Amino acid sequence: MDTPIIASYRFTKEEYLRAQRFAVRHSVHGRLIYRITTIIGVIIVLSGIASVWNHTVGWIGLLYTLIIGGVFFSMPLFARRTALKLYAQDPNRDREVKWQISDERVVFKTELTAAENSWASFLRVIRVRDGFLLYPNDRAFNWLPSHAFQAPEDVERFAELAKLKVKEYRDLA
């Protein structure tokens, strides 16, 4: 590749939440946690309804059961709140993020930090509807949104380069 791929975007709260949603949706741990909490919530609510049906508890017992079940159904809200707390602590929040991608390197810069990585430092790249998740390890990721690229063809150039350079590339877009 002769010319590097250039991308930049502002690291806003909305951008951070979008990246978190994609990361959780496409991680084994995230999907497992949401499925388990949903199943537990359903079991609690159904047991409360069955208890009222069998006259084991009254309506007050059903109300408590629905409240406890509701806690399990509201886990996505708790996850969002946690993500917002993490965003508030990030010194790069609401700053311009600049990427420069070449055959050899992936460079990430803000006015506070800079990181220069070889492609070998990324375990996997996942293409999602709105961009790319670049994973240096199983838990952490970097977000590169599609709208950050200077030209639409750069999105495809990056995808092709990632396919060649990273051990695991998944296209879920």
Size of the chain in residues:
173
Average pLDDT of the chain? 87
Residue 54 belongs to what H/E stretch? none
pLDDT computed for residue 104 by the predictor: 92
Residue (of 110, 127, 114) closest to 166 by Cα position: 127
Three-state DSSP class for 98?
strand
Adjacent-strand bridge partners of 171 = 127
Residue 40, pLDDT > 60, answer yes
26 versus 81: the higher-pLDDT residue is 81
pLDDT computed for residue 105 by the predictor: 93
Mean pLDDT of 50-61: 72
pLDDT computed for residue 106 by the predictor: 95
Task: Classify burial at 121, counting beta carbons within 10 Å of its beta carbon; exposed 0-12, middle 13-18, buried 19 or more.
Answer: middle
Q: Would you tell me how many other CB atoms lie within 10 Å of the CB of residue 28?
A: 8
Residue 97, pLDDT > 60, answer yes
For tokens 């296209």, the residue is 171
Residue 69, pLDDT > 60, answer yes
Q: What are the helix (H) ranges across 54-151?
A: 59-73, 75-89
Kindly tell me the number of DSSP H helices and DSSP E strands found in the chain. 5, 8
pLDDT computed for residue 70 by the predictor: 80
Q: Tell me the pTM.
A: 0.79
Beta strand pairing call for 124-128 and 168-171: parallel
